[in-house]
Amino acid sequence: MRSAPEPDAGTHVVPVPSADPHRLPIVRRRGELVRLRRRRAGLPETHPHGRHKRAREEAGSSPRSLGRTLLLLILLLLAGAVAYAMLFMPKQGESGAAGSERTGSAGEASTAPSRTPEPSTGQSAPQSSAPATDTQTDGDPSVADGFTLRKDPEGFQIAVAKGWDRTPKNGSGQVVYAHGDFELIVVPGRDSATMYGGDPMAYQRDKESELQPYRSSSWATATGLRTIEVGGRTMAEGQFTWTDGQGQDLFVRNMAILLNGRYHIVQVRGPEAQRDEVTRFYEQATATYRYTG
């Protein structure tokens, strides 16, 4: 093959010029251009291996530092949660909830305790317009200071705050004691269990006339509903709120007592902003109500 003749290139082949040694690429070591540029720019030289070593050290230490920081933050959050729970969370037994019903948009109702009355037996008494008389209350622990035990001619006795005025029995069978914005309404045996059923809770919730404003209101609440049985007698009580015709928000405590086949009502009404006073009058009334016939 070495002795073979060269082929005829023809007229269309451009001959390659001979190599110029001054135009060949200059082979330099890695990093030489960088150092050259740094020298020309007047910058100090940095050894590449030293720079890479520091970068590896910084990269190696960053995750450990981040881990320690996260662990410290978690411990601080846990300590803060424990401190908040100890200082601000309510302790067991400090608060409770009562069963409730509501009509329309709900509000709140008081959970003040109530006392259980002990009505006596008897039948409905005829209507009378005679004034109520006060009875001696010395030695009676059920009557608090500021109250007097009044024996009503409609056949019952009840503790009423001193200075309250009595209105004779009206066409709805109600005897009303009132003072200022407060009312004590007593209904001694108007409705019979034969007509309205023998469940005091159902009667109070659905049929009792004194609670018709609650059922008719579009903004009313009912809480603390419960049934009480004492000595073979069954009672139902509850706490109610509604807005009356004058736009006043009322707080009402009510008790319906089924006694000898008839319902007796004890109800106290007052301003919603004075719930404690309503509860005080109600507890005295229900604790001392007796039907005398």
- pLDDT tens for each residue of 71-116: 899 999 998 888 887 877 665 544 444 444 444 443 333 334 344 4
Query: Is residue 124 over pLDDT 50?
Result: no
Model pLDDT, residue 101: 47
Query: Is residue 137 over pLDDT 70?
Result: no
Residue, of 273 and 20, whose pLDDT is higher: 273
pLDDT in tens, 222-254: 999 999 998 878 999 999 999 988 889 999 999
Model pLDDT, residue 246: 87
The residues, ordered by sequence, that sit 6+ positions from 180 with a Cβ below 8 Å of its Cβ are none
* Cα 165 off chain centre by: 39
Residue, of 165 and 137, whose pLDDT is higher: 165
Model pLDDT, residue 226: 96
**Which strands sit side by side in the sheet containing 147-152, from one edge to the other?**
133-135, 147-152, 156-161, 290-291
Model pLDDT, residue 18: 61
Query: Rounded CA gap, 103 and 241, in Å?
Result: 10
Task: With H, G, I as helix, E, B as strand and everything else as coil, classify residue 249.
Answer: strand
Return the CATH number of the domain spanning residue range 147-291.
3.40.1000.10
Q: What is the pTM of this model?
A: 0.56
Residue 165 pLDDT level (bands cut at 50, 70, 90): very high
Nearest Cα residue to 125 out of 158, 193, 195, 173: 173
Q: What is the mean pLDDT of the chain?
A: 77
178-199 burial, b if ≥16 CB within 10 A, otherwise e?
eeeebbbbbbbbbbebeebeeb
Query: Rounded CA gap, 163 and 204, in Å?
Result: 30
Please state whether 139 falls in left (phi above 0), alpha (psi between -120 and 50) or beta.
Answer: left
Query: Is residue 16 over pLDDT 80?
Result: no
Nearest Cα residue to 155 out of 178, 130, 188: 188
